[in-house]
Amino acid sequence: MNRRQIALGLPALTLAGAAVPAFAGPPAALIAAVHGPQRSPANKARDVFRHPTETLAFWGLAPGMTVVEIDPAGGYWTEILAPFARATGGRYVAALGDKGIPDFKAKFANQALWGRIEVTPFSAASGPLVAPSSANLVITARNIHDWMWAPGFLEKAFNDFHAALKPAAILGVEEHRADPRPMIDEAHDGYVATSFVIAKAQGAGFRLDGRSEINANPRDTKDYPFGVWTLPPTRRTHGAGVPTPPGFDPAKYAAIGESDRMTLRFRRV
């Protein structure tokens, strides 16, 4: 293992249930996808906060993997993962709520550009994400706080991830981080305690395999009038029934950048 692997905590990867040596650095196809012209300017502009190459390397992305992304939203990771899967003979599956599926399919319909993107439902009532024990990597980025607000949904989500993954395969988690202060009730400001996420994952049959500070932001004070959504990229200036506070300065929050985030790697036990 080289110094870069040690610094990023890169794992030995698991394909088809068998461990193989970790690559010496990010695959060339990943670097090409991150810097490719298929990505939108708006998403590329966020790379300074989201560190796509380093984050995906830490999670153990490798050629030929079956990757399931949970709730791709605007397609930040889709624009990278789908071309990577096409270039390396892998498989990319997007798991979305029913209402988001038509728009997502329309946005990524061009198979010449994106390859074949599979879509699967993901909700409080959905079935399996993919065939049991068939995925090498499941990714969820900045979603966990949302699932905390629906009774039982968070537990179902982690159970779904566990069922989808092969033994010893990887769950990659990125989430707004409440630490070092306590998490407020149900993380209604969007910030979740790292210990809470780890406990939920362990309860579903995962073990913590690595932590990274790739997406840390020490400028994030986590005490904003509209929670984490005060910061980019949402840049909220008022809420439902809550006016913009006197003296509110959007530039102050833009200067902070995107949130301080935990970046965790779990393995299915």
What are 136-183's pLDDT values in tens digits? 999 999 999 999 999 999 999 999 999 999 999 999 999 999 999 999
Residue 228 lies in a domain: no
Pairwise CA distance, residues 184 & 20, whole Å: 41
What confidence tier does 20 reach under pLDDT thresholds 50, 70, 90? very low
Mean pLDDT across 124-144: 98
- For residue 179, being part of any structural domain is answered with yes
pLDDT band at 3, cuts 50/70/90?
Answer: very low
Q: Residues of 254-264 as b/e, b for ≥16 C-beta within 10 angstroms?
A: eebbbbbbbbb
Report yes or no: 93 and 79 within 8 Å, Cβ to Cβ.
no
Token look-up 């990597």 returns 137
Q: Residue 242: its pLDDT value, please? A: 84
Strand 165-176 with 66-70, pairing: unpaired
Instruction: Give a yes or no: residue 238 inside a domain.
Output: no
Whether 8 has a pLDDT exceeding 50, the answer reads no
Whether 128 maps to a domain, the answer reads yes
Q: The CATH number of the domain where 91 resides is what? A: 3.40.50.150
Whether residue 241 lies inside any domain: the answer is no
| pLDDT for 141 | 98
> Which residues have CB under 8 Å from 109's CB, separation 6+?
none
* Eight-state DSSP code of residue 242: B
Please write the tens of the pLDDT for every residue from 218-266.
999 999 999 999 999 999 999 888 889 999 999 999 999 999 999 999 9
Average pLDDT, the chain: 92
- Residue 22 falls within a domain, yes or no? yes
Q: Do the domain assignments include residue 188?
A: yes
Give the pLDDT band (50/70/90) at residue 5: very low
Task: Decide if 266 contacts 208 (C-beta within 8 A).
Answer: yes
Q: What is the pLDDT of residue 4?
A: 36
**pLDDT tens per residue, range 189-226:** 999 999 999 999 999 999 999 999 999 999 999 999 99
- Per DSSP, the three-state class of 206 is strand
Residue 46 resides in a domain: yes
Rounded Cα–Cα distance for residues 200 and 219 (Å): 28
Helix axes 194-203, 153-164, angle to 10 degrees: 60
**How many domains, in total, are found in the chain?**
1
- Measured N-to-C along each axis, helices 78-88 and 52-59 cross at an angle, to the nearest 10 degrees, of 60
What is the domain extent for residue 65?
3-220+260-268
Is a pLDDT exceeding 80 seen at residue 2? no
pLDDT at 241: 84
Round to whole Å and give the CA distance between 205 and 227. 31
**Distance (Å, whole) CA 72 – CA 52:** 14
